[in-house]
């Protein structure tokens, strides 16, 4: 049964990866993931990158662009509509406590905190709404999002380029531990930043 489901999923992924709309679909998925869907996009990206190794960099670029577009919308919601929409969005996603904790760190170390949230499992929605509601400079916000999410998506494409199938097997086995390892590394960099 499991093998039948895996074959069916592989056939669906191959059809999706070869379609004319795959880049548009990834852009939309990245936009939604960065704005409202708290599901890691890597669950789709790793198998897609494996099936489309000749378009690794195009897929990473479109993913990053979708994320940046979503980040801009999230920033705008925080900037202009936080009291009307942002607070409701945080409550709906269950991120109210994370937002309050993040806002306290953000007030003291804005750019470094945005970099941290962009590469870690911390929901990116929290960073977008915090930056907008605090009226953090939009250019610096977008630079932090570009750097952190660029590392995430282009780094993933690079791993698939170098290691191929081994990355897929590794991700299936260790995805949760990898997220926490990235968070620990990012926190270490953040702590060093605080003391320099």
Contact between 49 and 160 (Cβ < 8 Å):
yes
- Global model pTM greater than 0.85: no
Q: What is the pLDDT of residue 36?
A: 77
In angstroms, the CA 45 to CA 150 distance is 14
Residue 15 lies in a domain: yes
Q: What is the pLDDT of residue 167?
A: 62
Q: Which residues form the domain of 150?
A: 7-160
Residue 147 lies in a domain: yes
Residue 151 lies in a domain: yes
CB-based contacts of 80, cutoff 8 Å, min separation 6: 132
Q: What is the pLDDT of residue 16?
A: 64
pLDDT in tens, 64-107: 999 999 999 999 988 887 777 766 776 776 777 766 776 777 77
Residue 149 lies in a domain: yes
Q: Which of 180, 192, 31, 30 is nearest to 112 (CA)?
A: 192
Question: What's the chain's length in residues?
Answer: 196
Residue 170 lies in a domain: no
Q: What is the pLDDT of residue 138?
A: 94
Residue 61 lies in a domain: yes
Question: In the chain, how many domains are there?
Answer: 1
Mean pLDDT, the chain, integer: 76
Integer Rg of the chain from CA = 17
Give the mean pLDDT of 26-46. 81
Q: What is the pLDDT of residue 84?
A: 72
pLDDT in tens, 161-196: 888 766 666 655 655 555 555 555 555 544 554 454
């Amino acid at each position: 049964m499991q093998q039948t489901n895996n074959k069916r999923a592989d056939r669906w992924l191959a059809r999706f990866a070869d379609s004319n709309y795959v880049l548009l679909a990834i852009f939309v998925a990245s936009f939604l993931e960065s704005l409202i869907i708290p599901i890691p996009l890597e669950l789709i990206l790793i198998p897609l990158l494996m099936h489309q190794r000749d378009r690794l960099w195009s897929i990473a670029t479109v993913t990053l662009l979708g994320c940046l577009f979503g980040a801009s919308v999230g920033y705008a919601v925080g900037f202009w509509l936080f009291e009307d929409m942002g607070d409701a969005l945080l409550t709906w996603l269950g991120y109210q406590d994370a937002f309050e904790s993040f806002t306290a760190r953000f007030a003291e170390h804005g750019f470094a905190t945005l970099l941290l949230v962009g590469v870690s499992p911390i929901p990116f929605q929290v960073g977008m709404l915090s930056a907008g509601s605090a009226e953090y400079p939009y250019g610096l916000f977008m630079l932090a999002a570009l750097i952190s999410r660029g590392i995430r998506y282009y780094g993933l494409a690079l791993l698939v380029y170098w290691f191929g199938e081994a990355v897929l097997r590794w991700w299936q086995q260790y995805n949760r531990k990898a997220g926490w390892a990235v968070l620990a590394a990012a926190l270490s960099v953040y702590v060093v930043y605080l003391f320099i």
